[in-house]
Amino acid sequence: MTTPLLDVRNLSKTFVARRGFMGGESAVVHAVSDVSFSVAAGEAFGLVGESGCGKSTTGRAILRLVEPDSGAVLLKGEDVLAANPRRLRALRRRMQIVFQDPYSSLNPRRTIGQTLTEPMAVHGLGSARKILEAVRMVLAEVGMPIDAANKYPHEFSGGQRQRIGIARALVLRPELIVADEPVSALDVSIQAQILVLLRGLQQRHNLSFVLISHDLGVVRHFCSTVSVMYLGRIVERGPVPAIFDEPLHPYTRALRNASPVPDPKAKVIMGKLEGEVASALSPPSGCHFHPRCPHVMEICRGVYPSWVQVAPDRGVACHLYPAGIGSTVSAAAAPGR
Amino acid sequence: MSEAGELPLAVDGLTTAFRVEGRWYDAIRDVSFSVARNETLALVGESGCGKSITALSIMGLVPKANGRITAGRVLLDGRDLVPLDETEMEKIRGNAISMIFQEPMTSLNPVLPIGFQVAEALRYHTALTGEAARARALALLEHVKVPSAARRFDDYPHQFSGGMRQRVMIAIALACSPQIILADEPTTALDVTIQAQVLALLAELKSETGMAMIFITHNLGVVASIADRVAVMYAGDLIEIAPVEELFEHPMHPYTEALLSSIPRVDRDAGDLKPIAGQVPPITAMPSGCRYADRCPLRVPRCATMPPLVGLAVDPNHQVRCWVRAADESVSA
């Protein structure tokens, strides 16, 4: 097997939360626990889950925007976590991030031109003329007029600002872009424009993406492989569309059923999933999903299920599949209670 | 519509203007719709389309400094609310018409216990006081399925999750058994599994009480799962209104059509995503005719004048504001 572009192995990150009077007590939040996945060159990989599931922390840990506690992140075999500051800078040129809210991630006091040339200057890429040419090209590529370079972020709409955010990531010609909810703040018609733009860039430059989203529709449209996260852990991983058409993990199924579809005949199965996402401060024992799971068994309350690779491209962490995808699947896939 | 008197709420020709740098511009113009008992009407559109301004105009909450209703009527059981003063509106708000907002944390008072806030609506609008108000508030919280409501009655908003806070908001809205609930993006801030729970609760409460609901959202998936009828807004115009299945099956306005094919869907394969080119014109530079004309592939010279909202011959309940499409369908009215 060839080396994947990005290989994430057993990544974990905990935060210490201060609570109580004047932060006198502290508690450990396992934001990301034992997360592993790999992304091939040119692949769009999706991380989905609800708020607090650890998907953004995972994205940031890959770039060391937050320092992971343990695990490994390999970019074409090179260890990102072990890199010294100089190596890290070189590695970061090859992996960039696009944020949800381009307004808060663009410096309001800098022109778009300044924002776009800065990364190139930081990485010492070429002469002033070459840099200007690169800015001109990247603006054209994201569908912005060249005179945008002389304007400030507030002069643009949300969709245009996101194009600028993408241009900033793109200007260094990275191999990987971590896109953290890149279209969540946008209206649907603008959202579609940005998704089409990202798809075009992916195909033209053989770019890899880690797309972080809570929207299953966006992920299905953009990604070829998806991991579903719940309370810091990946609970299922598989190819699109199989993971949405035949979800294995009860949580994936619940998420799929609760996702509204613009078709009155396919009403969402409303309110089926009882309870709320537990706090990451005190995740339930055993399988974190067990208090909400319609298929909960005795073992689920005490033991976290181990990862079962049910097919070469499909895996799940659930006690319903103790020995792979055998007869248990049909029983579990039967529509709920 | 002539039977407006029998409908809990009818909005007729509503136009609300806002002042921008000394000049007045119509934020919504000539908006007309009605909602029947036990009916959910979804008001859908992208940001800036005027759906929230419509809600504020109905509630008499248009900020007076920079905004005013310049034309039209809001008929509650046949009585026009537009000319009423603040004192009279206060008797209606939270009583005959209640509102649920997007972000329950900012609409709940952070320094008052939630039970007190539910009871407050009762003390203000009904004869209930003290223990009776408290008992009724508790019953309401149980009704909206706040778990262990009695124990949590004196908890503060920050001690609740987003979904539970929204349930508290719903309890407050229901306190005086309103005829109409105006829900403005009530599930937008929630995760999908929690959104599904809140939508289920709202649907259940509506059919139980027979109240009318105006549900404002940008999410067509949510519309499909909760609405009986749908009104689509674009740049301040109500451009299409139809029963929910009809709208999704036979969208008539080019904008509605384009909007539906720009949604990435979880139940369908990729590849058919068609973005709408361009963007909504700013309020200071709206065309006087059809406001979608600039982005519309079907544009004809006539679009420079504002098209009327007309019913279609095939289904008079399906109305569209488009010169081209209305003519295609041989207009009935």
| Rounded distance between C-alpha atoms, residue A120 and residue A131, angstroms | 7
Are the beta carbons of B248 and A261 separated by less than 8 Å?
no
Q: Is A214 on the interface with B (CB under 8 A)?
A: yes
Are the beta carbons of B192 and A195 separated by less than 8 Å?
no
Are the beta carbons of B273 and A276 separated by less than 8 Å?
no
Q: Is A262 on the interface with B (CB under 8 A)?
A: yes
| Predicted pLDDT at A16 | 87
Q: Is A67 on the interface with B (CB under 8 A)?
A: no
CATH 3.40.50.300 placement within chain B: 2-96+178-328
The tens digit of pLDDT for each residue in B281-292 reads: 888 999 999 999
CA A10 vs. chain centroid, Å, equals 16
ipTM at complex level: 0.85
Tokens of B14: 């509503």
Tokens of A54: 């650890």
Name the percent of chain B lying above pLDDT 90.
74
Residue A245 has pLDDT above 50, yes or no: yes
Q: A224: left (phi > 0), else alpha (psi -120 to 50), else beta?
A: alpha
Q: Which of residues 172-191 of A touch B (CB under 8 A)?
A: 187-191
| Rounded distance between C-alpha atoms, residue A275 and residue A293, angstroms | 9
Tokens of A32: 């990301």
Neighboring chain A residues of B191 at a CB cutoff of 8 Å: 50-51, 214, 277
| Rounded distance between C-alpha atoms, residue B264 and residue B273, angstroms | 6
Neighboring chain B residues of A217 at a CB cutoff of 8 Å: 221, 263-266
Residue A239 has pLDDT above 60, yes or no: yes
| Predicted pLDDT at A327 | 42
The helix or strand, by DSSP H or E, that contains position A311, with its residue range, turns out to be: strand A308-311
Q: Which residue of B lies nearest to A252 if distances are taken between CA atoms? A: B193
Residue B331 has pLDDT above 70, yes or no: no
- Pairing label, strands A314-316, A233-239: antiparallel
Q: Which residue of A lies nearest to B259 if distances are taken between CA atoms? A: A189
| Predicted pLDDT at A157 | 87
Neighboring chain B residues of A193 at a CB cutoff of 8 Å: 275-277
Residue B4 has pLDDT above 60, yes or no: no
Q: Note whether B129 and B123 are within 8 A (CB).
A: yes
- Structure-derived torsion over alpha carbons of residues B43, B44, B48, B50, reported in degrees to the nearest 10: -20
- Pairing label, strands A208-213, A176-180: parallel
Are the beta carbons of B275 and A220 separated by less than 8 Å?
no
The tens digit of pLDDT for each residue in A127-161 reads: 888 888 999 999 999 999 999 999 999 999 889 99
The full set of domain ranges for chain A reads: 6-245, 273-337
From residue B131, give the alpha-carbon distance in Å to each of A160, B137, B145.
56, 10, 21
Residue A92 has pLDDT above 80, yes or no: yes
CB contacts < 8 A, A to B, total: 142
| Predicted pLDDT at B326 | 86
| Predicted pLDDT at A128 | 84
Mean pLDDT of chain A: 89
Are the beta carbons of A188 and B263 separated by less than 8 Å?
yes
Are the beta carbons of A268 and B196 separated by less than 8 Å?
yes
Are the beta carbons of A258 and B196 separated by less than 8 Å?
yes
B245 vs chain A: nearest CA distance in angstroms? Answer: 6
Q: Note whether B267 and A261 are within 8 A (CB).
A: yes
Residue B145 has pLDDT above 70, yes or no: yes
Listing DSSP states for B134-201 in one string gives: HHHHHHHHHHTT-TTHHHHTT--GGGS-HHHHHHHHHHHHHTT--SEEEEESTTTTS-HHHHHHHHHH
Expressed in percent and rounded to 5, the helix, strand and coil fractions of chain A are: 35, 25, 40
Q: How confident is the model at residue A331 (pLDDT cuts 50, 70, 90)?
A: very low
How large is the average pLDDT for residues B209-230? Answer: 95
Are the beta carbons of B262 and A255 separated by less than 8 Å?
no
- Pairing label, strands B229-234, B212-217: unpaired
Question: Which of A86-95, A273-282, B82-91 has the least mean pLDDT?
Answer: A273-282
Name the residue facing A262 among B221, B258, B269 (closest C-beta). B221
Are the beta carbons of A262 and B220 separated by less than 8 Å?
yes
How large is the average pLDDT for residues B127-137? Answer: 91
B195 vs chain A: nearest CA distance in angstroms? Answer: 8
How large is the average pLDDT for residues A293-314? Answer: 93
| Rounded distance between C-alpha atoms, residue B69 and residue B72, angstroms | 8
Q: Note whether A162 and A102 are within 8 A (CB).
A: yes
Neighboring chain A residues of B276 at a CB cutoff of 8 Å: 189, 192-193
Q: How confident is the model at residue A1 (pLDDT cuts 50, 70, 90)?
A: low
CATH H superfamily, domain A6-245: P-loop containing nucleotide triphosphate hydrolases (3.40.50.300)
Residue A285's CB is within 10 A of a number of other CB atoms, namely: 13
Residue B2 has pLDDT above 60, yes or no: no
| Rounded distance between C-alpha atoms, residue B105 and residue B164, angstroms | 10
Are the beta carbons of B270 and A258 separated by less than 8 Å?
no
Are the beta carbons of A192 and B270 separated by less than 8 Å?
no
Neighboring chain B residues of A214 at a CB cutoff of 8 Å: 191-192
| Rounded distance between C-alpha atoms, residue A27 and residue A16, angstroms | 6
Residue B314 has pLDDT above 90, yes or no: no
The tens digit of pLDDT for each residue in B222-232 reads: 999 999 999 99
Tokens of A194: 């940005």
Are the beta carbons of A259 and B192 separated by less than 8 Å?
yes
How large is the average pLDDT for residues B60-79? Answer: 94
Q: What is the layout of strands, in order, in the sheet containing B9-20?
A: B23-35, B9-20, B67-76, B79-80
Residue B255 has pLDDT above 90, yes or no: yes
Residue B272's CB is within 10 A of a number of other CB atoms, namely: 11
| Predicted pLDDT at A125 | 77
How large is the average pLDDT for residues B22-39? Answer: 95
The helix or strand, by DSSP H or E, that contains position A299, with its residue range, turns out to be: helix A298-302
Does residue B265 sit in helix, strand or coil? coil
CA B199 vs. chain centroid, Å, equals 14
Q: Rounded to 5 degrees, what are φ and ψ at A16?
A: -105, 120
| Predicted pLDDT at B29 | 95
Q: How confident is the model at residue B173 (pLDDT cuts 50, 70, 90)?
A: very high
Residues in chain A: 337
Q: How confident is the model at residue A40 (pLDDT cuts 50, 70, 90)?
A: very high
Q: Note whether B262 and B54 are within 8 A (CB).
A: no
| Rounded distance between C-alpha atoms, residue A156 and residue B224, angstroms | 32
Residue A328 has pLDDT above 80, yes or no: no
| Predicted pLDDT at A272 | 62
How large is the average pLDDT for residues B55-59? Answer: 95
Q: Is A259 on the interface with B (CB under 8 A)?
A: yes
Neighboring chain B residues of A271 at a CB cutoff of 8 Å: 196-197, 199-201
Neighboring chain A residues of B258 at a CB cutoff of 8 Å: 189
The tens digit of pLDDT for each residue in A2-27 reads: 789 999 999 999 998 777 666 677 78
Residue A269, classified by CB atoms within 10 Å of its CB into exposed (0-12), middle (13-18) or buried (19+), is middle
Which CATH number is B2-96+178-328 given? 3.40.50.300
| Predicted pLDDT at A121 | 85
Beta bridge partners of B320: B240, B310
Q: Which residue of A lies nearest to B164 if distances are taken between CA atoms? A: A276
Q: Is A323 on the interface with B (CB under 8 A)?
A: no
What long-range pairs does A300-303 form, CB within 8 A, spacing at least 24? none
